[in-house]
Amino acid sequence: MVKIRDLLDDAARGLVFSDTPQLDAQIILAHVIGRPRSWLIAHLETPLTPPQIDSAQQAFARLKAGEPLPYIIGHWEFFGLDFNVTKDVLIPRPETELLVEKSISWLTSRPEARSVVDVGTGSGAIAISIASHIPNVKILATDISPAALKVAKSNAHKFNVQSQIEFIECDLLPSSFILDPSSFDLLCANLPYIPTETLHKLPIYGSEPTLALDGGLDGLDPYRRLLKLAPNWLTPNGKILLEIEASQGAKILSLAYDSFEDVTINLHQDLAGHDRILEITLREN
């Protein structure tokens, strides 16, 4: 008879590559048996059925083979919400929560500003988190990947914010749109920003969608293109919030100053002290 404690101990010993083997094992087994992790820990002597053992061992094997944990269990937490994720979308990361925090803070301080565009929405984590906290916001969420948009739409329905978000398949921004030009108060984006050569040397390469990671030769190609388009989409005094790669603060500041004239530009650090968010505020003429 194999109990929960036995399987967790065996699995943790096999996950030598992980920094948190016990936690990873608990998350997978909780997912397999359909119980919260807290229940699992409180019932370590509970015996497992053969199908549960088989399913858990298959999941552990996928993890050992290098498949990211969120893809194995099919969901991941971001900004207090449990998002569905597949191999078609980037796994939401804690550092992106700073972008959401700043977006919500600015929208809260500007009750008249309720039109947002989220470029490269992926799983929809940014757009849906904003919509969940600003009930009367209207968001255009774009992505070049139809598979990613399918995931994002499922998440919007999961959290009942589908009426607040319009999803459009396009490269960065649509070439034409039903709204008038300069219609958006806030443009936010977490675009691919890892230089191609660097990406190919990282463990993440091949595990998550390259389309969502590869920023070109220097990691800034998508941002160059977006910054050329953005001014035509924003209202006077509109704001741009972009997540950036930690080592590229100086480069993207220079790019922003080259791309705009009458703006205020700030660079914000994350909790680890790394450059993380580029903020550009347009000034009304």
pLDDT single digits (tens) 27-70: 999 999 999 999 999 999 999 999 999 999 999 999 999 999 99
When pLDDT is cut at 50, 70 and 90, the band that residue 180 belongs to is: low
CA distance 78 to 155: 12
Q: What mean pLDDT do residues 99-125 have? A: 97
Q: Is 80 exceeded by the pLDDT of residue 176?
A: no
Confidence at residue 231, expressed as pLDDT on a 0 to 100 scale? 87
Secondary structure (3-state) at 245: coil
What are the boundaries of each domain within the chain? 4-66, 87-282
d(CA 51, CA 141): 40
Q: 249-259 vs 221-229: helix axis angle to the nearest 10?
A: 30
Kindly tell me if the per-residue pLDDT of 181 is higher than 60.
Answer: no
pLDDT of residue 149: 98
> In the predicted model, is pLDDT for residue 178 greater than 60?
no
User: Closest Cα partner for 54 from 16, 106, 2, 116?
Assistant: 2
Residue 186 CB burial class (10 angstroms; 0-12, 13-18, ≥19): buried
CB 72 within 8 A of CB 25: no
Tell me the pTM: 0.93
- % of the chain beyond a pLDDT of 90: 79
Q: Which CATH class is domain 4-66?
A: mainly alpha
When pLDDT is cut at 50, 70 and 90, the band that residue 100 belongs to is very high
Phi and psi for 141 in degrees, rounded to 5?
-115, 125
Domain 87-282, second-level architecture:
3-Layer(aba) Sandwich (3.40)
Give the mean pLDDT of the chain.
93
Q: Do domains 4-66 and 87-282 have the same CATH topology?
A: no
